[in-house]
Amino acid sequence: MAEAVAFYGLTAVALGASLMVVLSRNMVHAAVSLIPVLLAIAGYYVLLGAEFLAAIQILIYAGAITVLILFVILLTEGATGLRVRPRNEQVPLGAITCLVLAALLIAVLTRTPWPQTRSSLPEYNPGAVGESFLTAYVLPFEAMSLLIVACLVGAIVVARREE
Amino acid sequence: MAEVIRIVLSVVIVFTFVAVGVALFLVLMERKVSAWVQARIGPRHVGPYGALQTVADLLKLLQKEHILPAGADRLMFAAAPVVVAVAALLSYVVLPWGPGVIVRDLGVGVLYFTSVLSLEVVGILTAGWASNNKYALLGGLRSAAQMVSYELPLGFSILTVATITGTLSTVRMVEAQPYPWYTYPSVIVAGLVFLVAATAESNRIPFDLPEAESELVAGYFSEYSPLRFALFQLGEYGSLFATSALFVTLFLGGWRGPFELPLVGPVVDGIFWFLLKTYAVVFFFMWVRWTYPRFRIDQLLNVSWKLLLPVSLANLLLAGLLIAGSG
Amino acid sequence: MREVPLDWAYVAAFALLGSLLAALPFVVVWLLAPRSQYPQKRLTYESGVIPFGSAWAQFHVRYYLYGLVFLLFDIEVIFIYPWTVVLRQLGPLAFVEMLIFIVVLAVGLMYAWRKGALEWA
């Protein structure tokens, strides 16, 4: 009962705030509206018993990525509100893209056999996560560090070229 | 139903403590400490030794008019102080006040603590942007750059303690601290890094560039009038107290004291020592604030990225080596 | 109720009820405070002169660089959290695996340092 209330509450927040993100004509408003969406998703993780994932969702997405997005908006002209067209004017092309994407997502959603294993999540998340990436998935884990360094190098090259 | 009552009660109790025991008391304490450092007397007219000064200030703030700056963003201007205050309040969920005295002992304890404190950055950044004031925006941006830079060394020093104790729960971290805790070299280095990074996280001198009154007026809250200003104070002192309490939890043995108080039982004894140590750490932060000058922004960022980050990372690996070797 | 959702029900209550309690004194202000607004009062503070233009200006790219380097190291941090709790149990092998991970990222940090991404200028 309580979990159903929580689920529908989170869904209302996530959908409402997502609409704000898409429909707002002010880029800073759109970026800040992302925060309730991301926090609501952390709430979903909690309902699934994935506490560790919920905490890193707050730390990385709500606390770090939104700050980065705000920095990006503030360094472009977006924050000044001048000479900015927050909406795409390619209506036909945009509509086609949206429809194709929606069809693709619906097809994936309906055809994937979603496993119903809510109760099998280990009680203590961080230990289980640590064990799996340090034993079974050690190669992807090490590859992750290379990916992060690649992001870093790419960003520095792009940012420095502008000067 | 009983659970709902417990939830509501715990929120009300913690909120009251943060408002009275932290915000009102610490502002008074700050004024008294600054007076002591500068050989002044400080507030003394309202109540005995000026003890009711901040209560009087609050009553005054309640009667003052809200001013929305011209061209400000109404909704975000109003929301930002609430976000900052609530982010600070959320961190109190995992503070262990005494044996068994904690709101909830989350499995991801210290990770949760750093997560909710990182939300404060968002509130400060939007406050600066929404004010339509150049000083406020500059202060908000500086603050965000500073807080994200110091989150990393802070995180690494928390992780060092987590490595040695093998847990993320704040309660079990206190229980796992063997005496004498201070003989671990990694713990000492982590503690020192934590102190420096925590000063920067709470935007205090020598890391107070976001508010730097002599250059930015008051930084991101320049345009804020009565009660919203009070909420920023609540958030600022609330997180100062919470970080000090986390320092006590991680490095100073939490609720355990050097001896047991007679007659009062373990719970009161624990709360006593925990509060005593935390207020002592808060005093340390205030003492530093009124003693040292301010860094330049490039110096400030260099301290974090070129000194604290490599040192705390190496320190963490050293602690890991120790544990992996012994385990 | 299971343990983890109950833990976070407290967190949610702190967020929602906390905002409510923080907003409560605004009712008192609404009842007591005077209201008189005129254009001069709402001017923002700019060292005593009339504010020039809008405050919403473009900012320097260096903020973005700090933000990005921070985000990437934050991702590193979230991998270390689970590592700390299983290190004792998994022993030296887990240590070496994390050492490789951190050394690769340290090389990234050195690159950022050498390229001047960590300079304010």
C37-60 residue pLDDT tens: 787 777 777 666 776 666 666 667
Model pLDDT, residue C2: 60
From residue C10, alpha-carbon distances to A11, C4, C22 in Å are: 19, 10, 17
More confident residue, B177 or C97: C97
Rounded Cα–Cα distance for residues A54 and A50 (Å): 6
Rounded Cα–Cα distance for residues B296 and B275 (Å): 34
Amino acid letter for position C46: E
Looking at C1-121, list the stretches that DSSP marks H as alpha helix, in order from N- to C-terminal side.
3-23, 25-32, 62-90, 92-114
Q: Is A121 on the interface with B (CB under 8 A)?
A: no
- Which residue numbers in chain B have pLDDT < 50? none
CB A144 within 8 A of CB A133: no
Model pLDDT, residue A102: 95
Q: What is the pTM of this model?
A: 0.89
Pick the residue of C66, C85, C99 with the most A CBs within 10 A to test the interface with A by mutation: C85
Model pLDDT, residue A67: 87
Rounded Cα–Cα distance for residues A5 and A12 (Å): 11
The model's pLDDT over A35-94, given as tens digits with 9 standing for 90+, comes to: 999 999 999 998 888 889 999 999 999 888 998 888 888 777 655 555 556 566 788 898
Residue C98 tokens read as 């994390």
Rounded Cα–Cα distance for residues C17 and B82 (Å): 12
Model pLDDT, residue C56: 67
Model pLDDT, residue A74: 78
Q: Give the chain C residue nearest A43 (alpha carbons).
A: C8
What percentage of chain C has pLDDT greater than the value 70? 86
More confident residue, A106 or A125: A106
Q: Is the peptide bond before B153 cis (omega within 30 degrees of 0)?
A: no
Model pLDDT, residue C35: 79
Distance from CA of A33 to the nearest CA of C (A): 17
Residue C118 has pLDDT above 80, yes or no: no
Q: C1 falls in which pLDDT band (50, 70, 90)?
A: very low
Q: Is C59 on the interface with B (CB under 8 A)?
A: yes
Model pLDDT, residue B282: 93
Q: Is A79 on the interface with B (CB under 8 A)?
A: yes
Chain-chain contact of B7 with C10 (C-beta, under 8 angstroms):
yes
Chain-chain contact of A149 with C4 (C-beta, under 8 angstroms):
no
What percentage of chain A has pLDDT greater than the value 90? 29
Chain-chain contact of A59 with B111 (C-beta, under 8 angstroms):
yes
Model pLDDT, residue A78: 55
Burial (0-12, 13-18, 19+ Cβ within 10 Å), C24: exposed
Residue A45 tokens read as 């993780």
* B70 neighbourhood in chain C, CB within 8 Å: 39, 42-44, 51
Model pLDDT, residue A41: 94
**ipTM associated with this complex:** 0.86
Amino acid letter for position B282: V
Residues contacting residue B272 through CB under 8 Å, at least 6 positions apart: B257, B261, B264
